[in-house]
Structure 1
């Protein structure tokens, strides 16, 4: 594997699964663990690692992705499989002090669940999945239907799934992995120099009921499909994904929330979610906003973090005006500046504070959603 200078690759046997991970920095440095999202791997963080030379940075390939053992995901545990795998890896590496956790999108739920059960030094969220899961909820997080219809593995676009299975590296369809990455992972103004490498990483995804997208079950409720019990998209369903308990933990680590204002994946009214698709007339039979409104994902995140701050936690928010779903990619230099400042001030963070910033990286941009691709990155 051709890695950037200072970045190392290793595979570690844990008491759960065998995990591949990247690592950089000194063995005795403060530990930063960067956890990737859905349809990605540790290498989506590799470009950041040399810029943090004083930290021991660990970026694992999570269950179902990359070069780690292709183990099934028990969706009924939400993202607890990922949280427990992360704990097993840190124990196997001999890391016993609280670590700084970074979680992108899907991994936002995983690091929150980790922190709900174990002490951590800090939490950094990058466009995290809503604390109420992805798809089919009212503003307060209540599922629109008891079976969480409209969420889970049945929401994935079949063409994207088949192109992933076939190892498609082309850009000849809006639903090829490369095209989905370009339209959803970063701002449309961003040209990613490592795009070929990152496409190859996405194609390492475990495809099927155990991985991406996961199984599904028929439903009598609109839009006719409900989550199954295995696979990553089902783990993200509001039926199973819940990190609202973060606000109630006794020892509250400092929190940094970074989010691209042009994010099309985690947004209020994301066109990857059935409520917005129904309201937009894309999926027929929509029962209306009183029954199945577009999910206000960013508002749900904000509400939980306001609860966290009100209960004594320190929260810093940075909204990146020109960024998409991955500001650590399309605004890497600015994101690193914000993150490094956060790390250096976590020891002196004011309990109960909630600060908000706007990290301007250019003029605000918007892009078009890829209907039904449901990456839920």
Structure 2
């Protein structure tokens, strides 16, 4: 398996930090001034089945006056693979990021979260001060799967959500560090088919695949446990592991609307996102609706989650309650705007954090 050091671009360095909670790996730009104030510090939080390595192009493209820090969440990259307590939602990850910033001497910063990382930074804003939030293709504020448009849960056991939804062959290929494109369940195939929209080209695909393969599949990490369910498709969310952190019984950050101090928010998403959308190919109810999984009980019982619609509703309420929200909707872009439209993503981020050069 490729080492983290072999996957670093010129100008990026990795270092490990011992925090009060766990050992955390961070990426930084070698030219950055560690004395940069929080108002010019951007902390980047990756998503599920990835690591800080995915942020390198974004970091290198930011101006010299910015300090850029990308954090490996527990069980990803070179951070410690401690078990994840999913009953806290994404709280373990949020508190890990906070412990990292404390160790770095940063009382706050501008936070950028991608996919699951978007949920992490929303949770962070509920628990700790943040200067701004940039949410890129974020998980819905109501979690992943199993909810109606208003966020209410479809079943008491979150049927079809959580750890039971992990594809066994994909998990085995992660465990083996598979870098091939021999099967639709290989990390490389999943990256090409789900992380980006068709037509994306890069010289760094091997790095992105290596990043995916850092995902820990040890007990308590990816994907997590499940419970038997009398509801279709036969399993419900468990209480440990990555996928269960976003089950709606454990995760709901719609309370950001009630924050007294509301950090400005930038929401970036693409119209061709296969993972976070109103018709997600990772939502088992949607897969049932299109016939990919047999026995679907119908839209009255198991409707697909309206992920983008839910996010828009919560952020609209946030704005109505006095928050400052900017939406950047990118036509034809998939789950990774920072890779697919890097200049537009960086420009929107810099405007959101108020960087004037």
TM-score when scaled to structure 2?
0.94
**2:206 — aligned with what?**
196
**1:55 — aligned with what?**
66
* Equivalent residue runs for 1:1-377 within 5 Å: 1-2=5-6, 3-24=8-29, 25-29=32-36, 30-52=40-62, 53-96=64-107, 98-344=108-354
Tell me, yes or no, if the aligned pair for 1:79 and 1:236 is still in contact at 8 Å. yes
Measured in 1, the distance between the counterparts of 2:194 and 2:9 equals 25
Measured in 1, the distance between the counterparts of 2:281 and 2:94 equals 28
> Unaligned regions of 5+ residues in structure 2, if any?
none
Deviation at residue 7 of structure 1 after TM alignment = 2.1
Measured in 1, the distance between the counterparts of 2:332 and 2:291 equals 28
Give 3-state SS (helix, strand or coil) of 2:81's partner.
coil
Aligned length in residues: 345
Measured in 1, the distance between the counterparts of 2:276 and 2:58 equals 22
Tell me, yes or no, if the aligned pair for 1:149 and 1:226 is still in contact at 8 Å. yes
Tell me, yes or no, if the aligned pair for 1:208 and 1:215 is still in contact at 8 Å. no
Give 3-state SS (helix, strand or coil) of 2:93's partner.
helix
Measured in 1, the distance between the counterparts of 2:110 and 2:96 equals 16
Measured in 2, the distance between the counterparts of 1:38 and 1:144 equals 24
Deviation at residue 345 of structure 1 after TM alignment = 6.5
Measured in 2, the distance between the counterparts of 1:13 and 1:122 equals 26
Deviation at residue 286 of structure 1 after TM alignment = 1.5
Tell me, yes or no, if the aligned pair for 1:41 and 1:65 is still in contact at 8 Å. yes
Tell me, yes or no, if the aligned pair for 1:48 and 1:332 is still in contact at 8 Å. yes
Measured in 2, the distance between the counterparts of 1:166 and 1:4 equals 24
Tell me, yes or no, if the aligned pair for 1:173 and 1:179 is still in contact at 8 Å. yes
> Unaligned regions of 5+ residues in structure 1, if any?
347-377
Let me know the Cα RMSD of the aligned residues. 1.2
